[in-house]
Amino acid sequence: MPFDTELTRRLGIQGTADLASAVSNAGALGIITALIFPTPEGLREEIRRCRTLTNRPFGVNITLLPALGVKIVETAGNSPGPVIKQLKEAGIIVLHKCTTIRHAQSAVKLGVDFLSIDGFECAGHVGESDITNFILLSRARQSLNVPFIASGGFADGQGLAAALCLGASGINMGTRFMCTVEAPIHENIKKEICRADETDTTLVMRKWRNTTRLYKNKVAQEAAKVEREVPGDSFEPMAPLMSGKRGKMVFVDGDPQFGVWTAGQVIGLIHDIPNCKDLVARIETEAEAALKEKLSLLKPASKL
């Protein structure tokens, strides 16, 4: 049974372009990551391609011109203030990713429609406060007056049920969708995710207040060592290890040790490589079962 939340109602959802369209076709919201495209035209072509692969809504993680037909934009990093007005005037729904309640409240004042609340478990940029989702989501429920999505640490229906109980309108999954049939990455990387434990990530870049969670391979561990042992705050010794080009080749050639790549602690919960449709359906079924099971614990009061 599809869940009815503020997120599903507003975004019109029930529950690279290849993966984003597959996720959207499965009833969730697929998001294209603009960062992987070297030119604006490359991103435009990928958006156009995605529109040929799905007639459902999909999002893009960047600020885009309305002429491209994208109606959902996810912003992250610096304050989205300079672009919010332009996006809203174009009728675009804006989601903003935050790792602290303070930043979330600032985004609300700027007029965002939804917030993605990212706990310390998440892949990539985890922020500097090290607050896990169990606390962060509850604080969001207490403090925010706009709907929010739970991000970081979600891979199954039990996690979705927990997020809904903590006040979220839905969940955001990155690492889990990397490990699907449609994900355009090498099969070896998907198998590596399935083999991994929740302890197989590491944090780097804390010295520069740009803390990032990576898969704990040889290159990431060497980067962490350089960060600890090299004096000063020059980024130059780190640059060859943190190369985005090397990281991209991991997904192309399938060598999980070749470069750095992001993964969340949720890798410890991922054990198979389903297609997106089956994964979304399974998560919905699991969440519904989990919520019904917990409701059954509420026994009627005995009559005196």
The pLDDT tens digits for 85-139 are 888 888 889 999 999 999 999 999 988 999 999 999 999 999 999 999 999 999 9
Q: Find the angle CA(202)-CA(233)-CA(102) to the nearest 5 degrees.
A: 65
- Measured CA to CA in angstroms, residue 178 lies from 47, 60, 194, 231 at distances of 19, 17, 11, 36
- What pLDDT score does 66 carry? 44
Of 66-75, 104-113, 177-186, 287-296, which gets the smallest average pLDDT? 66-75
Class of domain 6-184+272-293: alpha beta
DSSP E strand boundaries for the chain: 30-32, 58-60, 72-75, 93-98, 114-118, 124-125, 148-151, 171-172, 201-204, 212-215
Q: For the whole model, what pTM was predicted?
A: 0.81
Average pLDDT, the chain: 89
Write out pLDDT tens, residues 247-256.
Answer: 999 999 999 9
Residue 85, pLDDT score: 81
Show the tokens assigned to 180.
């699907």
What does DSSP say about strands 212-215 and 201-204: parallel, antiparallel, or unpaired? antiparallel
Q: What is the mean pLDDT of residues 213-221?
A: 98
CA contacts within 13 A on the Cβ side of 138: 5
**Whether pLDDT at 70 is above 90:** no
In the chain, ranges of CATH 3.20.20.70 domains = 6-184+272-293
Confidence at 279, pLDDT banded by 50, 70, 90: very high
CA–CA gap between residue 155 and residue 126 (Å, rounded) = 18
pLDDT in the model for residue 12: 53
Query: pLDDT per residue over 223-236, tens digit each?
Result: 999 999 999 999 99
- pLDDT average, residue stretch 125-154: 95
Taking only the tens place, the pLDDT of each residue in 5-35 is 666 555 554 447 888 888 889 888 888 887 6
